[in-house]
Amino acid sequence: MKILVTGCAGFIGWKTSSMLLEQGVEVVGIDNINDYYDRRLKIWRLSQLRDNNSFEFVEGDIENRGLLGYLFVNHTFDAVINLAARAGVRYSMVNPHIYLNSNADGTLNLLECMRKHRIKKLVLASTSSLYAGQDMPFVETLPVNQPISPYAASKKAAETMAYTYHYLYGFDVSIVRYFTVYGPAGRPDMSPLRFIKWIDQGTPITLYGDGSQSRDFTYIDDIATGTIAALKPLGYEIINLGGGKNPISINRMISGIEKILDKKAIIDEQPFNKSDMLHTWADITKANKLLDWRPQTTFEEGFLETVEWYKNNKSWLDEIEL
């Protein structure tokens, strides 16, 4: 197989590409390596992929229709995994236009290339942020028509466009809604890596709210495994990929990191951001039924692995901007 993975230098894109390569799949990866967070982390991830001869990297943007057209002309893809996206709920309130351009228009560009070259299988990354205001645990059949951030709205637009191409052209679409992904080489704009570094260095943690808010933390390897499993023919399905058990409070995450590092956190409590969700919790019944998937890594195991990775790469992570 040959698969196009967009956003291959991103956290989930890197691990998904890595697992595909381990399975003997050819991967063409595209990423614009933007500076939303420190590019050095993305370059590190890419360096891990470049060691495999079955990986080809193209630096570019899925907003560039000409570049995408060139890729589809010069490669015969069996499927597309679209993990390219502008991430970050809070920053989407600062610069909403780039979120719609990348997350919605970029997805449309891919769908058009797939239509022209008769590629039918798409795995599209989406988000648990769409479930804001719904009853937990979140099930895929809930109406998600009231996104509370431009980020969530742009993801909803991508989902809707993918359905249109399924309806009109018979595309086989798996939409995977991710729940708070963490692990080694994770995003430095998210709390796990930030808090590990700040606690280790004795830097005050910026905590929005009182820490009682909770997340359905999901380890990166489990997320990548579920994403690859979603390549199977499904028609059109929306599938939650999350921890599936009781969500973990931010306070519990902090205490877990303190225990592993044997250091105490200094907390700078700030007002809760209204664009954030108080709690997330995935119903993963559908993922288990359709993909035979359930997470294999416990919260304790995952954070231990994450802290160990941080310690082993501390020499250059100390320079990463958070």
- Residue 287 sits at φ, ψ, to 5 deg, of -60, -40
Set 91, 99, 151, 310: catalytic member: 151
Cβ–Cβ < 8 Å for 241, 173? no
Number of Cβ atoms within 10 Å of the Cβ of 243: 25
Largest Cα–Cα distance in the chain? 57
Active site residue 236: no
Distance CA 310, CA 304 (A): 10
- Angle at alpha carbon of residue 241, lines to 5 and 20, rounded to 5°: 30
Token pair, residue 244, equals: 């599936």
CA distances from 193 to 13, 76, 190, 200 (A): 18, 37, 7, 11
Q: Torsion angle, CA of 2/124/245/131, rounded to 10 degrees? A: 180
Those residues with Cβ within 8 angstroms of residue 219's Cβ, 6 or more apart along the chain or in another chain: 181, 182, 183, 295, 296, 297, 301, 302, 305
Written as one string, the DSSP assignment of 65-86 is: HHHHHHHHHH---SEEEE----
Residue 85: closest CA among 179, 182, 8: 8
Q: How many helices and strands (H and E) does the chain possess?
A: 13, 13
Active site residues: 151
